[in-house]
Amino acid sequence: MPYKKLWAALALVFVLSFGVLLYYGGEIIQEKPPIPERVVTEQGDVIFTKADIMEGQQVWQRMGGQELGSIWGHGSYVAPDWTADYLHRQLGFMNDYNAQQKYQLPYDQLTEEQQAELKATLKREIRTNTYDPETGDILITSLRALTASELGDYYAGVFGDAPEWAAYREQIALPANTVGSLDDREKLNAFFWWATWSTSTNRLGSDITYTNNWPGEPLIDNEPTSASLLWSIVSVVLLLAGVGALAWYYAVQRSREQDESGHIPEKDPLLQVKATPSMRATMKYFWIVTALIAVQVGLGAITAHYAVEGKGFYGIPIAEWFPYSVTRTWHQQLAVFWIATAWLATGLYIGPAISGHEPKFQRLGVNVLFGCLLLIVAGSMAGEWLAVKGYITSATHNFYFGHQGYEYVDLGRAWQIFLTVGLFIWFFLMARAIWPALKKKGESRHLLTLFLIASVAIPAFYIPGLMWGPQAHLTIVTYWRWWVVHLWVEGFFEVFAAVVIAFLFSRMGLIRTATATATVLFSTVIFLAGGIIGTFHHLYFAGTPIGVLAFGASFSALEVVPLLLIGFEAYDNLRHGRAKPWVKRYKWPIFFFVAVSFWNLVGAGLFGFLINPPIALYYMQGLNTTALHAHTALFGVYGMLGIGLMLFCLRGLTGEKEWRTKLLKFSFWSFNIGLMTMGLASLLPVGILQTMASMEHGMWYARSAEFLHTRTMQNLVWLRAVGDTIFALGVVGIVIFVIGLATGRSYKSDVS
């Protein structure tokens, strides 16, 4: 097999892709929105200082950050995007003030000509960049200073306990006194002012804002840039070209493949693998995976319900103990934890199974790592709760042990470091178990090498989550955060999983090792060719230069290319499942792999590309179209994969005992039907209606309580309960089945 060419291609993809990623990291540092030393009026009055802005950002992080509304479109969906909200309120106040001063009428009562005149004045004042690089000051008019003061009072009332905003707080699931002290509320206002200034002020020497004119706001002509339109067109062309090229290549390769059915063994080869002590020790990992799935889905139901009942859950005042920002944080974090735990346990199980070698103290290592994972899960969740509830008041203590405020990496820095160390321990345990097999010559060495590369990438690419400090610039944090979320969760975990599945099928004799190796190497090359640089599609409107938008649009389109032919993989998996009678033992693990292929196409591919082009994301960022992609990709792909791998390992750990599989069948279909119903009946129509509102009125309106609490929108939100309930029943089925493996009720006989 021509492995050398594939390895050379993979190396080239790594070098070139990370070269681009790091080069533009440097550009981002140079061109990020400046944080002023002072914001001063023409009369010399200091409105905000840099310390106010940075401390306000830390207040925002401590209250839950991106888990309670969003900034620059990144965050949760029930509360507003605070930058779009602040901008619209600022512009409305200034227009009304100018209208009263000049015409003694509110702005909305003026003639079109009068409104156009004031709008031109407003646009000139807001869009003109008055930042002085030499002094570090931003100069503003007395009217902008007055507006900042008025909005400071408004947000102090909203984030405090002002009774006039009680109903509004319930609509956006914001508890009273979310920010306890008046001083902290003033600093939060400073942070909101700066983040909004970045969205509405032109870059020095340019006619577009630091966030590429996001969010859409008609009052100052914030609209998509020509670059957004151009690179969206390029992305579609590249997608079509990539699909055509890959379809041609795939057709040629398949025509050359030989039928391998004659090489499939008559008996299950995996039954010959004797479970070692460390392999048996992974059983408790799968118990925890099952428990975390149940808790995570329960938290998801509570979090979704906050969109219609902001203070409780069917009358239970649960927000008093677990406010929205806490349940959403835990819901997202536990999803990553249980999926990662399933995959890590699979690696620990497969290591000795591959080599037939049990290293000394391997079982002890597996048990110690298990204890570390439990401590990280419990400790990080407790810290986040303490921070949001206001028990952690120190910004430093919050950074290390509380809530960092950034989606998917919310856990405090100390817990992040602990997790990174744990992941390297996991890699060490796997590598030492696999090493004897790696030293043997043969086709499997290439697959084992790729397996180790994918494995070491998992701890290595969590390190970017440690690259920012307590007062890091928001653009820099966003850049490194997406290294973790995109490259770690959406990149190397997928490579790792592809290798594991190839191992399983090759060890079962369903495919040749040479075929598996070549297929996985090729798929890794084409996946990472788009996937690494495709990280930039998350950064279009985060204070980054045009080059990020161009590369992100182009390469995120290429990410979709391999997913569009995933149906072939699903067919192959089904074919493997029918190869020999003994393969029926693995029917439901294989069916979960088939579901992975389906949701890769629909959730990651179709719903992912729906929001990937810059022109689409301009109107959709931070709307329920993002939630649609997130749910169908995260659970549909990675969750289904985690469950499939777990069932494969449990099948091996339970030996020859036959399973009762009715619960697995029920759960499989409940998961898929529930997920599809949730998406098509609720998330997609809500997202589309929000997009239409965003295009017509602006992002502020699409995310407003005024729009989201119309009868139509609330009915669509309620419809989600149908899909959620079907989905939750699938979780119940999996939990009962796994418990039954421990009690014996999931077996066809009483043999134990």
Please determine, for residue 261, whether its predicted confidence score (pLDDT) is greater than 70.
Answer: no
Q: Where are the domains of the chain?
A: 30-211, 228-250+280-743
Query: What is 628-649 written as a DSSP string?
Result: HHHHHHIIIIIIHHHHHHHHHH
Please determine, for residue 336, whether its predicted confidence score (pLDDT) is greater than 60.
Answer: yes
CB count within 10 Å of CB 229 equals: 14
CB count within 10 Å of CB 529 equals: 23
Most confident region among 32-36, 521-525, 629-633 by mean pLDDT: 32-36
Give the pLDDT score at 275: 85
- Mind listing the pLDDT tens digit for each residue in 653-679? 888 888 999 999 999 999 999 999 999
CB count within 10 Å of CB 234 equals: 16
Write the secondary structure of 260-296 as one string of H (helix), E (strand) and C (coil). Answer: CHHHCCCCCHHHHCCCCHHHHHCHHHHHHHHHHHHHH
Comparing 236-240, 466-470, 500-504, 605-609, the range with the smallest average pLDDT is: 500-504
Tokens 């790592």 correspond to what residue? 369
Q: Helix, strand or coil for residue 689?
A: helix
Rounded to the nearest 5 degrees, what angle is found at the Cα of 555, between the Cα atoms of 549 and 559?
Answer: 135
Give the pLDDT score at 121: 95
Return d(Cα 66, Cα 72) in angstroms, integer. Answer: 10
Closest CA relative to residue 730, chosen from 656, 614, 640: 640
pLDDT confidence of 751, banded at 50, 70, 90? very low
Return d(Cα 482, Cα 72) in angstroms, integer. Answer: 14
- Mind listing the pLDDT tens digit for each residue in 34-86? 999 999 999 999 999 999 999 999 999 999 999 999 999 999 999 999 999 99
Please determine, for residue 414, whether its predicted confidence score (pLDDT) is greater than 80.
Answer: yes
DSSP structure class, residue 69: S
Return d(Cα 711, Cα 70) in angstroms, integer. Answer: 24
pLDDT confidence of 752, banded at 50, 70, 90? very low
ω before 215 within 30° of 0 (cis)?
yes
Is residue 746 a contact partner of residue 665, using CB atoms and an 8 Å limit? no
**Beta strands at 38-41 and 137-140: parallel, antiparallel or unpaired:** parallel
Please determine, for residue 571, whether its predicted confidence score (pLDDT) is greater than 70.
Answer: no
Please determine, for residue 552, whether its predicted confidence score (pLDDT) is greater than 80.
Answer: yes
Return d(Cα 116, Cα 114) in angstroms, integer. Answer: 5
Give the pLDDT score at 568: 58
Rounded to the nearest 5 degrees, what angle is found at the Cα of 143, between the Cα atoms of 137 and 146?
Answer: 90
Contacts of 338 (CB under 8 A, 6+ apart): 288, 289, 292, 293, 296, 642
Please determine, for residue 604, whether its predicted confidence score (pLDDT) is greater than 60.
Answer: yes
- Mean pLDDT across the chain, nearest whole number? 90
pLDDT confidence of 271, banded at 50, 70, 90? low
Return d(Cα 731, Cα 293) in angstroms, integer. Answer: 7
Token pair listed for 334: 């536990």
Any bridge partners for residue 46, and if so which?
A: 40
Q: Helix, strand or coil for residue 207?
A: coil
Token pair listed for 463: 């390190």
**Beta strands at 38-41 and 46-49: parallel, antiparallel or unpaired:** antiparallel
- Mind listing the pLDDT tens digit for each residue in 191-250? 999 999 999 999 999 999 999 999 999 999 999 999 999 999 998 888 878 777 777 776
Distances (CA, A) of 453 to 25, 369, 429, 450, 493: 24, 21, 14, 5, 11
> What's the pTM value of the predicted model, to 2 decimals?
0.93
Q: Provide φ and ψ at 385, rounded to 5°.
A: -65, -45
Give the pLDDT score at 596: 86
Please determine, for residue 487, whether its predicted confidence score (pLDDT) is greater than 90.
Answer: no
Distances (CA, A) of 417 to 170, 199, 284, 401: 36, 33, 24, 11
Tell me which of 233 and 594 has the higher pLDDT.
Answer: 233
CB count within 10 Å of CB 92 equals: 15
Give the pLDDT score at 255: 52
Comparing 136-140, 381-385, 437-441, 635-639, the range with the smallest average pLDDT is: 437-441
pLDDT confidence of 574, banded at 50, 70, 90? low
Type of residue found at 245 = A
Contacts of 72 (CB under 8 A, 6+ apart): 81, 83, 195, 198, 199, 211, 214, 474, 478, 541, 542, 543
Contacts of 500 (CB under 8 A, 6+ apart): 343, 346, 347, 350, 451, 645
Please determine, for residue 467, whether its predicted confidence score (pLDDT) is greater than 50.
Answer: yes
Give the pLDDT score at 17: 93
Comparing 365-374, 535-544, 647-656, 734-743, the range with the smallest average pLDDT is: 647-656
- Mind listing the pLDDT tens digit for each residue in 289-306? 999 999 999 999 999 999
Is residue 455 a contact partner of residue 438, using CB atoms and an 8 Å limit? no
Return d(Cα 687, Cα 419) in angstroms, integer. Answer: 35
Helical H runs in 36-141?
50-62, 82-103, 112-127
Mean pLDDT of 369-397: 96
Is residue 347 a contact partner of residue 648, using CB atoms and an 8 Å limit? no
Token pair listed for 471: 């007062």
Return d(Cα 390, Cα 385) in angstroms, integer. Answer: 9
Mean pLDDT of 322-329: 96
Is residue 625 a contact partner of residue 610, using CB atoms and an 8 Å limit? yes
Closest CA relative to residue 740, chosen from 648, 642, 640, 661: 661
Tell me which architecture the domain covering 228-250+280-743 has in CATH: Up-down Bundle (1.20)
Return d(Cα 407, Cα 73) in angstroms, integer. Answer: 12
